[in-house]
Amino acid sequence: MAQKDSTADVAKLTKAQAKAQVRRLAEEIAEHDRLYYQEDAPLISDADYDAMRLRLETIEARFPELRSAESPTVKVGAAALEKFGKVRHRVPMLSLSNAFAVEEVEEFIARVKRFLKLSAEASVEFTAEPKIDGLSISLRYDDGVLVEAATRGDGFEGEKVTANVRTIDNVPERLKGRDIPETIDIRGEIYMQQEDFLRLNAAQEKAGGRTFANPRNAAAGSLRQLDPKITAARPLKFYAYTWGVAKPLPADTQYGVCQAFRRWGLPVNELMIVSADVAQLLAHYQKIEQERARLGFDIDGVVYKVNRLDYQERLGFISRAPRWGLAHKFTAIKAMTILEGIEIQVGRTGALTPVARLKPVTVGGVVVQNATLHNEDEIQRKDVRIGDTVILQRAGDVIPQILGVVPEQRPAKARPYRFPDKCPACGSHAVREINPNTGKLDAVRRCTGGLICPAQRVERLRHFVSRHAFDIEGLGEKIIQEFFADDLLQSPPDIFTLEERDRKSVKRLMAREGWGETSARNLFNAINARRTVPLDRFIYALGIRHVGETTARSLARAYDSAKDFLSQMKAAAKERESQAFQLLTKIEGIGTIVGSAVAEFFAEEHNVDVVEQLLKHIEVRPLERVAASSPVSGKTVVFTGALEQMTRDEAKAMAEQLGAKVAGSVSKKTDIVVAGPGAGSKLKDAQKHGVEVIDETEWLTRIGRT
């Protein structure tokens, strides 16, 4: 998989190649970290991100001299490991043995009786309740107050996620009632309702972020967020069903303790029964299985537990599972139906996803008409053809899967499916790229018509006005959505004709609901303030694949003006053998993959058109050439503490302009630390490494700005 391949050729790298890659990977990882941690809007999958890090680590391991103090493998890697503190469970969190067949359940009951030296006819009560498909959690309440929450981890030691768990609505901060134990670990499952999961995925997709495969993953991903605010925004829920330490125990049966949980204000699943009759337990299993589709959350079986706690005590554990409990799993529900068509959906980031349109069929109580086919390789691998009879499976997941086809039932005229190479939403080319980090062909085919594709327009507009692009204040996502729906904004040039069109319009902006004269004026002013932009921001704003801020800056430095850039890109797009394309791929930080993405963008006439339109309304400032020699050229500078005469971004831009390199942390390679009030650890690091420390005024003097 991606992770393995990402390191495949590291052994063959020359030092120069390794150096260039380390730089590029470090920059990209930093950018993805920022998107993930600060904007909660990751652009790439976790697997691709991990592959990128692994590649960087592998290269650094081979060439340790290339590892700098700023490397994300040093910085974020450590932070990620220490993301959550560790909690040693006072009683281990173990798992359950599984059973699928009725005979296995009968054998479990018989085994319990044998172990307790009871006759086969003896009456032993069991509880039966749904097995919730989420992630287990242990909540420690001391004197009824929630003091700590930990994930299961390896069963002995988990991660401390207290702040995040506190954001879950149905986890009480304080237990209520008179018989609250001095200390108790309440254990149960954190999960996400199917509806909430679908809504979250839709929102993630809209924000261009990663989506989750199922509610369980979504719950786990949401709980393990560094920022509890993100967890708080995710609709997680909790069910309590067991305990670790409990001093004193509130009852002497499993059922009784769960009743106490309920009295204390903890959520306990309603579908729990107690019975000594195996037929009744199995009937309950069937009832739960029938209700499964209507529960609103995923379950994957029924759990039976010996009711009497003294029996549980005697039965104890075998390896990592209790002898007193059993998970009776549901078998996946399968059905057959006809594949009537394959529809290609275009996501907000341009990804083409094939969706199977099915002859409606009921699978486990739910009518299924659509199923995901994931991507084109999957269709090919399974050789799924329109008209085929397909086998569907709902394994408790919300989205059914297509397991395969029934070849004997294939209509004679069914032809292998040809995945479109044009975007169904806008007609632009849809391409599969080589992932620059793994060197592998991406599974996803993407539309290249970003700026004109209706499926992507809102997302592109949002990017265009975002902080590091045109930075137009007051043009947030909601307003873009509204303006887009009302046909006021379709593509970036429209932003700059908005005021003029508004003046001639009968339905003035200031007359819109929620708007007034001032707010309309403010928006126009904000737009007008950006009629002049630097070339790097302009390029970044176009939203070309793989062109982040750093790449945009390298491109901007390489061309004299926006016009020069455009004509060179047109030439590069026309002919890969052209000098223009060769030049493009020689720019520092840009290889053939990124270069191809840029060329592909400009090969689309619509995109060129948008750029040309834009240039009619705005002025693009070329970047000043990097000074050949300045007092700080070639020096590595770190800014720390508050700056009083300029913003951090300005200081950075100015330093880079003068040929200095601005780093985020201090190492022995740092030449100058510019420290302002409030400087902390970086100042100490500077002293440790004997790095020169100056203040802001001295810095300005040195660079000749005073």
Catalytic residue positions, numbered? 131
Query: CA–CA separation, 153 vs 579, rounded Å?
Result: 56
Based on the shown chain and the rule CB under 6 A, indicate whether residue 241 belongs to the binding site for ligand IVH. yes
Residues in the interface with ligand IVH (CB under 6 A) total 14
**Binder among 153, 322, 449, 492 for ligand IVH (CB under 6 A):** 322
Q: Which of residues 623-652 bind ligand IVH (CB under 6 A)?
A: none
Least CB distance to ligand IVH at residue 93 (A): 7
Query: CA–CA separation, 683 vs 639, rounded Å?
Result: 10
Based on the shown chain and the rule CB under 6 A, indicate whether residue 289 belongs to the binding site for ligand IVH. no
- Between 322 and 450, whose beta carbon lies closer to ligand IVH? 322
Q: Check if the beta carbon of residue 475 is closer than 8 Å to that of residue 526.
A: yes
DSSP state string for 273-299:
EEES-HHHHHHHHHHHHHHHHHHSS-E
Based on the shown chain and the rule CB under 6 A, indicate whether residue 131 belongs to the binding site for ligand IVH. yes
Q: Check if the beta carbon of residue 450 is closer than 8 Å to that of residue 429.
A: no
Binding mask 181-200 for ligand IVH (x = CB under 6 A): --------x-----------
Least CB distance to ligand IVH at residue 243 (A): 10
- Between 198 and 327, whose beta carbon lies closer to ligand IVH? 327
Query: CA–CA separation, 299 vs 31, rounded Å?
Result: 38
Query: CA–CA separation, 423 vs 457, rounded Å?
Result: 14
- Between 271 and 403, whose beta carbon lies closer to ligand IVH? 271
Range in contact with ligand IVH (rule: CB under 6 A) among 16-24, 320-328, 384-392, 447-455: 320-328
Backbone angles phi, psi at 491, to 5 degrees: -145, 165
Based on the shown chain and the rule CB under 6 A, indicate whether residue 325 belongs to the binding site for ligand IVH. yes
Q: CA dihedral in degrees (162, 168, 172, 173; nearest 10)? A: 40
Task: Report the alpha-carbon angle 208-214-218, nearest 5.
Answer: 65
Q: Check if the beta carbon of residue 55 is closer than 8 Å to that of residue 10.
A: yes
Based on the shown chain and the rule CB under 6 A, indicate whether residue 94 belongs to the binding site for ligand IVH. yes
**Binder among 95, 162, 183, 497 for ligand IVH (CB under 6 A):** 95
Residue 429 DSSP one-character state: B
Query: CA–CA separation, 72 vs 82, rounded Å?
Result: 14
Range in contact with ligand IVH (rule: CB under 6 A) among 32-40, 130-138, 219-227, 642-650: 130-138
b/e code 215-230 from CB counts within 10 Å (16+ = b): bbebbbbbbebeeeee
- Between 6 and 242, whose beta carbon lies closer to ligand IVH? 242
Range in contact with ligand IVH (rule: CB under 6 A) among 91-99, 107-115, 439-447, 592-600: 91-99
- Between 242 and 349, whose beta carbon lies closer to ligand IVH? 242
Least CB distance to ligand IVH at residue 258 (A): 10
The candidate with the shortest Cα–Cα distance to 213, out of 352, 70, 374, 346, is: 374
Query: CA–CA separation, 449 vs 606, rounded Å?
Result: 7
Q: Check if the beta carbon of residue 446 is closer than 8 Å to that of residue 546.
A: no
Query: CA–CA separation, 607 vs 188, rounded Å?
Result: 53
Least CB distance to ligand IVH at residue 189 (A): 5
Based on the shown chain and the rule CB under 6 A, indicate whether residue 396 belongs to the binding site for ligand IVH. no
Based on the shown chain and the rule CB under 6 A, indicate whether residue 271 belongs to the binding site for ligand IVH. no
Least CB distance to ligand IVH at residue 277 (A): 20
Binding mask 326-355 for ligand IVH (x = CB under 6 A): -x----------------------------
Query: CA–CA separation, 210 vs 200, rounded Å?
Result: 10
Least CB distance to ligand IVH at residue 124 (A): 18
Least CB distance to ligand IVH at residue 137 (A): 8
- Between 49 and 191, whose beta carbon lies closer to ligand IVH? 191
Helix, strand, coil % (nearest 5) of the chain? 40, 20, 40
DSSP collapsed to 3 states, 375-424 = CHHHHHHHCCCCCCEEEEEECCCCCCEEEEECHHHCCCCCCCCCCCCECC
Q: Tell me, what amino acid is at 450?
A: G
**Binder among 128, 132, 558, 651 for ligand IVH (CB under 6 A):** 132
Range in contact with ligand IVH (rule: CB under 6 A) among 36-44, 93-101, 438-446, 547-555: 93-101
Q: Check if the beta carbon of residue 142 is closer than 8 Å to that of residue 81.
A: no
Binding mask 366-395 for ligand IVH (x = CB under 6 A): ------------------------------
Based on the shown chain and the rule CB under 6 A, indicate whether residue 129 belongs to the binding site for ligand IVH. yes
The SS3 assignment for 518 reads helix
Q: Tell me, what amino acid is at 30?
A: A
**Binder among 71, 167, 242, 437 for ligand IVH (CB under 6 A):** 242
DSSP state string for 455-494:
TTHHHHHHHHHSTTTT--TT--HHHHHHHHHTTS-SSHHH
The SS3 assignment for 440 reads coil
Based on the shown chain and the rule CB under 6 A, indicate whether residue 236 belongs to the binding site for ligand IVH. no
- Between 136 and 607, whose beta carbon lies closer to ligand IVH? 136
Query: CA–CA separation, 243 vs 139, rounded Å?
Result: 9
- Between 302 and 598, whose beta carbon lies closer to ligand IVH? 302
- Between 215 and 325, whose beta carbon lies closer to ligand IVH? 325
**Binder among 6, 7, 136, 307 for ligand IVH (CB under 6 A):** 136
Least CB distance to ligand IVH at residue 331 (A): 16
Surface-to-core class of residue 672, CB atoms within 10 Å of its CB (0-12 exposed, 13-18 middle, 19+ buried): buried
- Between 7 and 242, whose beta carbon lies closer to ligand IVH? 242
Q: Which residue is nearest to ligand IVH (CB)?
A: 136
The SS3 assignment for 186 reads strand
Range in contact with ligand IVH (rule: CB under 6 A) among 89-97, 561-569, 610-618, 637-645: 89-97
Q: Which of residues 555-594 bind ligand IVH (CB under 6 A)?
A: none
Range in contact with ligand IVH (rule: CB under 6 A) among 12-20, 127-135, 332-340, 566-574: 127-135
Q: Which of residues 15-54 bind ligand IVH (CB under 6 A)?
A: none
| Interface contacts to ligand IVH, rule CB under 6 A | 94-96, 129, 131-132, 136, 189, 241-242, 303, 322, 325, 327
